[in-house]
């Protein structure tokens, strides 16, 4: 067994840069150490949207960029013995495996072993109504909502099992994000399922890497304050994990971005609540006593990660559909823009109210106050600063039907003739809204299944 | 702190950095001074009450601060700050990722040599 295992990440969400993987794979191959690569592609709602896709087309419902993500690196990974893991199976891991198999055959790799982990989809197998609600979105009135998806956050063990069966690509649906990094470490070092100390180091590795470039300069750079080299080509992260429990994070060679104490601290605390209790299905990670040290250019070593026994239950997130989001925007600019923008916002809200189109409505003045404002526009209504030269007025509504949402959003269009002087640039759109609820489910209610076979056999 | 060092009022952004993350209707905001020497001073001035007040207009209900003195960092958890969060909110930033910069707009008093 080698002392050191490398874990690379090439995607932090569905929608990430599709050319991120190649420099990571080149670096891993050049280092010549045992290594794995993972893709994180599944935010909370992504799986519900994928489930809706699957309803439309039984062969869809997995990461739409899957082929584009794997095409540049699949052959190189197979050649270098670097297994690939990803939750890119989304709502349809079997169809995703067939997609990978088609790609492998096209690349002349019919023997490539593709593994699929299923069992996360509990929409048909678990009676959610019988379980206590763990967390719920505000205003989720169940009577008006229909269940779209319910998936358990499964842990690393079944993914490691697929690697144990020789899988070179492991396709999963919902897993806990850090588990995608824990699994290859578990498999390589032979960690037991109750080795809390090591599993916590794996979870820390996964937590730091799972958002891709957020460790290496993304969501970090702030011109003049936190500058990074070549932000158009940020290198994605790589972790070095030792059999002695050491953990060091770095990034792909010959790329932009950086890894330093500032970027690692920001990502360590990202989406963390109590630093002494970060819950994953594999272990409870405790980073309250972590220390870190710059161990070279773009290299940061972490010490002091602790682990506690994993939670008894798994988290299941259920997604529901049942309302629509309508959005529309118009612009005003030049003299008296602020007064025209305020009047436009008020008239749009009045129109929606008058026509009874929305359950809730909100207006923003982009250029005055928007992302930090409240639904009642407290900040833009109170604004008394200098007049902005160019303001975009945004209307957003929640409606119970697509038609109401569309009619409300189209009120911005009507402002092209009925609006204040100089109103222009109308754009509008309607999207389905997905709300979520989470439940805690006993582990035995979520059995998982692992299937591994060669690309030529996936049809 | 040197005796003749005058205190100046600056936005946190001049002396510290932050990142925001979400879980449902709750936002977490990390805060790290660029110079670790400022850590005790920020601990004194960037209180739970002041951070909660930044989100009062949004109906935030509670703020909790976790201190990580070994890495000179704070982690603030603000409940009910996201108007429903990524799924429920009508606002443009359902994830609340821009709120790190609302925190960084908070005024603090620091010795001039840190600015």
Q: What is the CATH number of the domain that holds B16?
A: 3.30.70
Query: Does B2 have pLDDT greater than 70?
Result: no
Q: Phi and psi (nearest 5°) for A424?
A: -160, 175
Number of domains in chain B: 1
Q: Is residue B67 part of a domain?
A: yes
Average pLDDT over residues A197-214: 98
Q: Is there a contact between A434 and B66 if contact means CB atoms under 8 Å apart?
A: no
Calculate the CA dihedral of residues A152, A203, B98, A406 and round it to 10 degrees. -20
For an interface test with B, the pick among A217, A271, A361, A405 (most B C-beta atoms closer than 10 Å) comes out as A271
Average pLDDT over residues A186-204: 98
**pLDDT tens-digit profile of A365-375?**
999 999 999 99
Sort out which chain A residues have CB atoms less than 8 A from B21's CB and list them. Answer: 269-272
Query: Does A137 have pLDDT greater than 80?
Result: no
Tell me the pLDDT band of A141, cut-offs 50, 70 and 90. Answer: low
Average pLDDT over residues A264-276: 97
Query: Are the C-beta atoms of residues A397 and A326 closer than 8 Å to each other?
Result: yes
Query: Are the C-beta atoms of residues A415 and A330 closer than 8 Å to each other?
Result: yes
Token duo for residue A305: 């990660």
Tell me the pLDDT band of B15, cut-offs 50, 70 and 90. Answer: very high
Query: Does A1 have pLDDT greater than 50?
Result: no
Q: Is residue B1 part of a domain?
A: no
**pLDDT tens-digit profile of A408-449?**
999 999 999 999 999 999 999 999 998 888 999 999 999 999
How far is residue A92's CA from residue A172's CA, in Å, rounded to a whole number? 9
Q: How far is CA A444 from CA A173, A223, A282, A440, B8, in A?
A: 18, 50, 15, 12, 59
**pLDDT tens-digit profile of B32-90?**
999 999 999 999 999 999 999 999 999 999 999 999 999 999 999 999 999 888 878 99
Sort out which chain B residues have CB atoms less than 8 A from A374's CB and list them. Answer: 57-59, 83, 91
**pLDDT tens-digit profile of A386-396?**
999 999 999 99
Q: Which domains does chain A have, with CATH numbers?
A: 4-122+153-313+443-457 (no CATH), 318-438 (3.30.70.100)
Sort out which chain A residues have CB atoms less than 8 A from B97's CB and list them. Answer: 219
How far is residue A250's CA from residue A262's CA, in Å, rounded to a whole number? 13
How far is residue B112's CA from residue B115's CA, in Å, rounded to a whole number? 6
Q: Which long-range contacts (CB under 8 A, 24 or more apart) does B50-54 make?
A: B50/B106, B51/B76, B51/B78, B51/B103, B51/B106, B52/B78, B54/B102, B54/B103, B54/B106
CA A64 remoteness from chain centre: 14
Name residue, tokens 């953990």: A247
Q: Phi and psi (nearest 5°) for B28?
A: -110, 135
How far apart are the CA of A103 and the nearest CA of chain B, in angstroms?
A: 34
Query: Does B1 have pLDDT greater than 60?
Result: no
Which residues of A, range 352-371, sit inside 8 Å of B by Cβ?
360-362, 364, 366, 370-371
Category of A353 on φ-ψ map: left (φ > 0), alpha (ψ -120 to 50) or beta: alpha
pTM for this entry? 0.96
Token duo for residue A258: 């950086």
Query: Are the C-beta atoms of residues A255 and A234 closer than 8 Å to each other?
Result: yes
Q: Is there a contact between A371 and B23 if contact means CB atoms under 8 Å apart?
A: no
Q: Is residue B30 part of a domain?
A: yes
Contacts of A373 (CB under 8 A, 6+ apart): A364, A379, A380, B57, B91
**pLDDT tens-digit profile of A217-257?**
999 999 999 999 999 999 999 999 999 999 999 999 999 99
Structure confidence at residue A139 (pLDDT) = 57
- In which domain, by residue range, is B96 found? 7-114
Average pLDDT over residues A46-70: 94
Tell me the pLDDT band of A134, cut-offs 50, 70 and 90. Answer: confident
Structure confidence at residue A138 (pLDDT) = 58
Structure confidence at residue B84 (pLDDT) = 83
Average pLDDT, whole number, for chain A? 96
How far apart are the CA of B87 and the nearest CA of chain A, in angstroms?
A: 5
Query: Does B3 have pLDDT greater than 70?
Result: no
Query: Are the C-beta atoms of residues A302 and A264 closer than 8 Å to each other?
Result: yes
Q: Is residue B11 part of a domain?
A: yes
Structure confidence at residue A82 (pLDDT) = 98
Nearest Cα neighbor of B78 from B95, B60, B96 is: B60
Q: Is residue B57 part of a domain?
A: yes
Q: Is residue B2 part of a domain?
A: no
Q: Is there a contact between B70 and A139 if contact means CB atoms under 8 Å apart?
A: no
Tell me the pLDDT band of A322, cut-offs 50, 70 and 90. Answer: confident
């Amino acid at each position: 067994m080698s002392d050191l295992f490398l874990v690379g990440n090439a995607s932090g969400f569905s929608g990430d840069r599709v050319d991120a993987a190649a420099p990571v794979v080149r670096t891993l191959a050049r280092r010549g150490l045992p290594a794995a690569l993972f893709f994180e592609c599944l935010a909370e709602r992504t799986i519900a949207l994928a489930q809706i896709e699957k309803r439309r087309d039984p062969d869809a419902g997995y990461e739409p960029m899957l082929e584009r993500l794997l095409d540049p690196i699949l052959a190189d990974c197979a050649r270098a013995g670097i297994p690939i893991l990803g939750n890119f199976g989304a709502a349809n891991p079997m169809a995703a495996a067939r997609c990978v198999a088609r790609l492998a055959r096209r690349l002349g790799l019919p023997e490539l072993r593709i593994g699929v982990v299923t069992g996360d989809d509990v929409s048909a197998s678990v009676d959610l109504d019988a379980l206590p609600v763990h967390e719920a979105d505000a205003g989720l009135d169940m009577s008006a909502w229909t269940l779209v998806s319910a998936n358990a956050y499964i842990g690393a063990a079944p993914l490691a099992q697929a690697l144990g069966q020789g899988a070179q690509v492991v396709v999963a649906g919902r897993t806990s994000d850090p588990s995608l990094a824990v699994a290859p470490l578990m498999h390589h070092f032979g960690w037991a399922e109750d080795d809390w100390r090591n599993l916590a180091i794996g979870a820390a590795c996964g937590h730091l890497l799972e958002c891709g470039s957020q460790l290496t300069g993304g969501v970090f750079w702030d011109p003049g304050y936190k500058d990074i080299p070549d932000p158009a080509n940020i290198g994605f992260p790589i972790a070095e994990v030792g059999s002695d429990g050491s953990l060091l994070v770095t990034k792909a060679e010959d790329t932009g971005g950086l890894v330093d104490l500032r970027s690692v601290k920001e990502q360590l605390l990202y989406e963390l609540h109590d630093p002494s209790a970060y819950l994953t299905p594999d272990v409870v990670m405790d980073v309250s006593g972590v220390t870190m040290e710059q161990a070279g250019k773009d290299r940061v070593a972490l010490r002091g990660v602790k682990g506690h026994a994993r939670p008894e239950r798994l988290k299941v997130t259920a997604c529901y559909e049942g309302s629509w989001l309508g959005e529309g925007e118009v612009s005003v600019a030049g003299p008296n823009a602020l007064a025209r923008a305020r009047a436009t916002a008020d008239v749009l809200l009045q129109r929606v109210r008058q026509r009874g189109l929305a359950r809730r409505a909100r207006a923003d003045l982009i250029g005055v106050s928007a992302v930090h404002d409240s639904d009642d526009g407290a900040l833009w209504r109170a604004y008394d600063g200098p007049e902005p030269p160019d303001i975009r007025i945004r209307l957003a509504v929640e409606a119970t039907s697509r038609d109401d949402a569309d009619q409300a959003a189209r009120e911005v269009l009507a402002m092209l003739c009925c609006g204040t002087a100089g109103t222009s640039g109308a754009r509008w759109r309607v999207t389905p809204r997905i709300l979520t609820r989470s439940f805690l489910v006993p582990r035995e209610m979520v059995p998982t299944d692992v299937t591994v076979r060669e690309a030529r056999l996936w049809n | 702190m040197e005796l003749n060092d005058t205190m100046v009022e600056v936005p946190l952004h001049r002396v510290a950095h932050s990142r925001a993350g979400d879980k449902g209707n709750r936002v977490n905001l990390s805060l790290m001074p660029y110079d670790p020497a400022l850590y005790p001073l920020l601990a004194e001035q960037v209180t739970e009450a002041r951070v909660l007040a930044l989100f009062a207009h949004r109906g935030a209900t509670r703020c909790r601060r976790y201190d990580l003195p070994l890495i000179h960092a704070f982690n603030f958890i603000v409940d009910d700050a996201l108007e429903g969060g990524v799924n429920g909110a009508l606002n443009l930033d359902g994830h609340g990722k821009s709120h790190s910069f609302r925190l960084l707009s908070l005024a603090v008093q620091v010795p001039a040599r840190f600015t």
